[in-house]
Structure 1
Amino acid sequence: MSDRYPVADLADLPEDLRERILAEQEKAGFVPEVFLMFGRRPAEWRAFFAYHDALMEREGSNLSKADKEMIIVTISGQNNCQFCVVAHGAILRIVKKDPYIADQVAVSHHKAELTPRERAICDFATKVNLRSDELGDADFAALHEHGLDDEDAWDIAAITALFGLSNRLANATDMRPNAEFYAMGRTPRQK
């Protein structure tokens, strides 16, 4: 982690941020570094996580949590964002119950073991991420073939855009994944 952008101290954050971070810590068992990095600027933290929650928890979407995490890992790999590949890769492994999927998708969704529907989602996200100016009717039609509508395309584009922002900030600030993320979802939990 760079000394240029030290993370915020949890004790110094506004109450609303501290409450949300402590809730995440309760759920995960640790505080993801991204919360403290964004905590340096509370107004931006609130805006980022409000949009994050609006997209990732939106009801009525045909995209599952696994689909959304797959989008994040796909484009984070393309953007060489170590933090997001590792952190969201952990979440993807857990929600898909597949210890290999995140590594495959981060390197190349074309070589990953995906369904045709999942591949179409990743293809669309990739085009939004790398060549959004080239999007056309055929790209939307490819989603429609898999039961995804224009609102789902919006979700894919919005998730791609938000995490494109996140990838760039993580890279610019040299944000590193918490060590806990690396092992999550790799082996079945002991009962």
Structure 2
Amino acid sequence: MTHLRTPAESALYAAEADRHGYVPAYARVFALAPQAYRAWIGLGAAVRGGMDERRYELVTVAAASAMGARYCVLAHAAVLRDRHLGDTQLRAVLTDHHAAGLDETEVAVMDFAARIATDPSSASAEEIESLRGHGLSETDIFQVILVVCVRRFFAGALAAAGTVPDPELAPIAAVVAARP
């Protein structure tokens, strides 16, 4: 659902239905600007390709959580649960990632992602140096920055359009809601 009147049909819908088993609300919104959506898909793929999936999803969840982007939190929490963490550790990550059994690098990356998600200019030279100390290269650090910034775009577009999470995300919403 969204505040906008979206097209009943779009060339975007078939691919999204094949991928998810339903047409997500975000696809309905972006059916209003299919060229922007195709560009987003290409940019997202390029950014995701710069890091392993687990880090990408942790960074995305940290950024989305910091921004209050519930749709993005739920969609990416589902990937973390299904492929990397399981319910218990996912709840811990969403409650306090410092106490979730993640390695120090993952915690540092999530801290950085959450901070710059709400204020990109808050990144300091000391924080960047700390990420280097965790073994991240300049490219690794920039990839984290890119993930956060593309998430700001996507989450912002959905929020401004009043897009709410799909009913199909209810199972992950229940896991997320069951935080200690």
Shorter-chain TM-score range = 0.7 to 0.9
Q: Distance in 2 between matches of 1:163 and 1:151?
A: 18
Corresponding residue for 1:51? 43
Select which of 126, 136, 141 maps to 2:129.
141
Select which of 156, 162, 170 maps to 1:168.
156
CA gap 1:172/1:131 in 2 versus in 1, 3 angstroms: closer
The DSSP-based 3-state class of the residue aligned with 1:5 is: coil
The DSSP-based 3-state class of the residue aligned with 2:86 is: coil
CA gap 1:106/1:167 in 2 versus in 1, 3 angstroms: farther
Corresponding residue for 1:189? none
Relative contact order, higher structure (CA 8 A, sep 6+): 2
**TM-score scaled by structure 1?**
0.79
Q: Deviations over 1:59-96 (max 9, x none)?
A: xx4x3211111111111111111111111111111121
- Quote the RMSD (CA, aligned, Å): 2.3
Structure 1 gap segments, 5+ residues each: 187-191
Q: Deviations over 1:9-63 (max 9, x none)?
A: 3x3x24xx3xxx434433432222212211111121122111111111x2xx4x3
Residues 1:7 and 2:2 are matched in the alignment: no
> Post-superposition shift, 1:111?
4.3
CA gap 1:97/1:108 in 2 versus in 1, 3 angstroms: closer
Residues 1:98 and 2:90 are matched in the alignment: no
Number of aligned residue pairs: give it: 174
Contact 1:77 1:107 (C-alpha < 8 Å) held by counterparts = no
* Identical-pair percentage: 23
Residues 1:66 and 2:39 are matched in the alignment: no
Select which of 27, 36, 42 maps to 1:35.
27
The DSSP-based 3-state class of the residue aligned with 1:117 is: helix
The DSSP-based 3-state class of the residue aligned with 2:109 is: helix
**Higher mean C-alpha deviation, range 136-145 or range 81-90:** 136-145
Corresponding residue for 1:85? 73
Q: Which amino acid aligns with 2:32?
A: R
Q: Distance in 2 between matches of 1:124 and 1:161?
A: 12
Q: Deviations over 1:151-175 (max 9, x none)?
A: 1111100110111112222222221
Contact 2:54 2:84 (C-alpha < 8 Å) held by counterparts = yes
Contact 1:73 1:102 (C-alpha < 8 Å) held by counterparts = no
Q: Which amino acid aligns with 2:4?
A: Y
Which structure features the higher share of helix residues?
A: 2
Structure 2 gap segments, 5+ residues each: 176-180
Contact 2:16 2:27 (C-alpha < 8 Å) held by counterparts = no
> Post-superposition shift, 1:108?
4.0
